[in-house]
């Protein structure tokens, strides 16, 4: 991850590969948003903007010669869109603009960021965006190709607050958050031949140790222990693979905790659909079906690194959904943790099965609130597209998640759980089915299924199926591939519970 520091020097005097400044759209054209740039240079840029193709639109990035008045090699103009009525810029706008600029600087060694950062919120947004934009997954590339993609290694953010303790604290938080998001991205991007349930469990142990998450205890149940413990959902999904399932539990329990929260993550390390086989094209991104578990792992680690006074327990429900002679079949009946029986009507509706076991375990352990996060349904993408996640569940917790998402800048939309869809759970041979015969409201039906396993515990379900993996062009601070979505919202939720 890039090294980020604060500076109070005049940005134009700092020698670096690039100096990043903002541009914004105005009624007269384009304005440069940089108080400390030489006036002559500002006038030149604004007058030449039409010929340079600069409009100031959000996510527009243009690189121009720096000129003799600037010590950096090049000037990077990153669009901020239009100002708010009070003359400022939305925090997510700053985050996006910083990330978009830094993302385009792959291969450069260092950069100075001179975007609005006059208070803690603005500084935090700029720092987060810059760090999130400084990402590339190069593990499997040749050294020469990897070098061209290597993100900026040193970032300096110019701010008048550079000496304050609060500014340093905001920067430190941004570094922890970015490490959590990037760690999640790395896991999602890892190919399934290298990341299978047991390997994921090892990665969880390594993340706790290597990132310095003090006070986090890791326990792992293997396939035999899962069967013995009555975890029929996880065991059933994983029985078709030669690489057995796991349930990883991460416990962070600080003294004097203000709240006790559980987070359950779906960790299907590869999803073929099982016997209800997906079409070939539908499998191409199914290494990402463990994005929920990756987000849970790194949220718990981040909470511990920040020392939040909230007890957090993460449950990583890990399995590989494969077709084989030992695979789960349509019409099988499995007994879940806690005793409910489920008739399997579609083996490709496997995520809710592993999640149900995790939810029961979380409720058994006793928590003030239980969250779950999963790449659960294709219906989420049909309803909300590839950038907006869904949240449903108990009204109060659902709204708390939505508020946290709004604060950190992740798009989530609250969804209902219509009572009439619950009738689709009925089975003729078991307590319930895992998939409804009617495809209408598929995302909401899955929510109803999960609700059966939480009882009266306050709960929210986050469906991140589309936003977890970006198959199209990079945008803002979001790369192609794993996005790390959900980590910032989950951490924001925990910070809210901590009163931070």
Alpha-carbon distance 43 to 68, whole Å? 15
Alpha helices for 160-276 (secondary structure H):
165-189, 197-210, 223-228, 232-238
Strand-pair category, 459-463 with 389-393: antiparallel
Q: 293 is written with which tokens? A: 């578990």
HSE-up of residue 37 (Cα within 13 Å, Cβ side): 30
Alpha-carbon distance 360 to 337, whole Å? 6
The residue from 352, 398, 488, 497 that is catalytic is 352
Whole-angstrom CA distances from 297 to 215, 267, 470 are: 14, 11, 20
Alpha-carbon distance 343 to 479, whole Å? 39
CA dihedral 196, 201, 205, 206 (to 10 degrees): 0
CB 380 within 8 A of CB 463: yes
Other beta carbons less than 10 A from residue 426's beta carbon? 12
Q: 180 is written with which tokens? A: 């959590």
Nearest to 318 by CA among 385, 262, 238, 377: 238
The residue from 83, 260, 278, 340 that is catalytic is 278
C-alpha angle 226/227/229, rounded to 5°?
A: 65
Beta partners for residue 374, in sequence order: 463
**352 in active site:** yes
CB 290 within 8 A of CB 317: no
Phi and psi at 333, nearest 5°, equal: -120, 125
Nearest to 114 by CA among 10, 248, 20, 242: 20
**278 in active site:** yes
Alpha helices for 39-119 (secondary structure H):
39-52, 91-103
DSSP H or E run through 496: helix 487-498
Helix 487-498 and helix 165-189, axial crossing angle in degrees, nearest 10? 140
List residues with catalytic annotation.
278, 352
């Amino acid at each position: 991850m890039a090294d980020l520091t604060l500076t109070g020097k005049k940005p134009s005097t700092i020698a670096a590969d690039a100096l990043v400044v903002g541009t914004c759209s105005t009624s007269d054209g384009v304005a440069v948003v940089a108080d400390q740039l030489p006036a002559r240079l500002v006038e030149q840029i604004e007058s030449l903007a039409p010929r340079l193709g600069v409009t100031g639109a959000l996510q527009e990035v243009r690189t121009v010669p720096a000129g003799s008045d600037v010590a950096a090699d090049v000037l990077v103009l990153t669009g901020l869109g239009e100002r708010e009525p009070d003359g400022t810029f939305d925090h997510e706008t700053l985050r996006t603009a910083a990330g978009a600029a830094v993302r385009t600087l792959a291969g450069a060694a260092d950069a100075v960021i001179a975007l609005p950062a006059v208070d803690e919120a603005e500084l935090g947004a700029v720092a987060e965006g810059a760090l999130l934009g400084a990402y590339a997954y190069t593990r499997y590339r040749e050294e020469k190709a990897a070098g061209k993609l290597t993100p900026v290694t040193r970032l300096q953010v110019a701010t008048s607050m550079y000496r304050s303790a609060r500014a340093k604290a905001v920067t430190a938080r941004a570094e922890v958050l970015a490490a959590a998001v990037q760690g999640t991205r790395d896991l999602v991007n890892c190919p399934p031949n290298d990341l299978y349930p047991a390997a994921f469990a090892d990665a969880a142990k390594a993340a706790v140790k290597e990132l310095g998450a003090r006070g986090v205890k890791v326990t792992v149940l293997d396939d035999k222990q899962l069967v013995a413990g009555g975890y029929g959902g996880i065991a059933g999904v994983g029985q078709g693979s030669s690489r057995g399932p796991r349930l990883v539990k991460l416990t962070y329990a600080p003294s004097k905790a203000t709240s006790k929260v559980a987070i359950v993550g779906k960790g299907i390390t590869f999803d073929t659909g099982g016997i209800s086989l997906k079409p070939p094209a539908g499998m191409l991104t199914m290494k990402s079906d463990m994005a929920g578990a990756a987000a849970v792992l790194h949220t718990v680690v981040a909470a511990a690194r920040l020392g939040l006074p909230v007890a957090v327990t993460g449950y990583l429900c890990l399995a590989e959904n494969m077709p084989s002679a030992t695979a789960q079949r349509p019409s099988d009946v499995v007994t879940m943790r806690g005793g409910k029986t489920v008739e399997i009507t579609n083996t490709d509706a496997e995520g809710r099965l592993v999640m149900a076991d995790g939810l029961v375990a979380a409720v058994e352990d006793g928590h003030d609130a239980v969250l779950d996060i999963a790449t659960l349904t294709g219906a989420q993408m049909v309803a909300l597209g590839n950038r907006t996640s869904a949240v449903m569940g108990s009204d109060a917790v659902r709204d708390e998640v939505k508020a946290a998402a709004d604060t950190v800048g992740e798009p989530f939309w609250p969804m209902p759980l219509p009572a009439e869809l619950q009738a689709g759970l009925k089975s003729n041979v078991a307590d319930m089915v895992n998939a409804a015969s009617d495809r209408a409201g598929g995302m909401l039906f899955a929510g109803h299924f999960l609700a059966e396993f939480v009882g009266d515990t306050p709960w929210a379900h986050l469906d991140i199926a589309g936003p977890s993996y970006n198959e199209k062009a990079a945008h803002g601070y979001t790369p192609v591939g794993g996005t790390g979505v959900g980590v910032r919202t989950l951490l924001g939720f925990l910070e809210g519970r901590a009163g931070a």
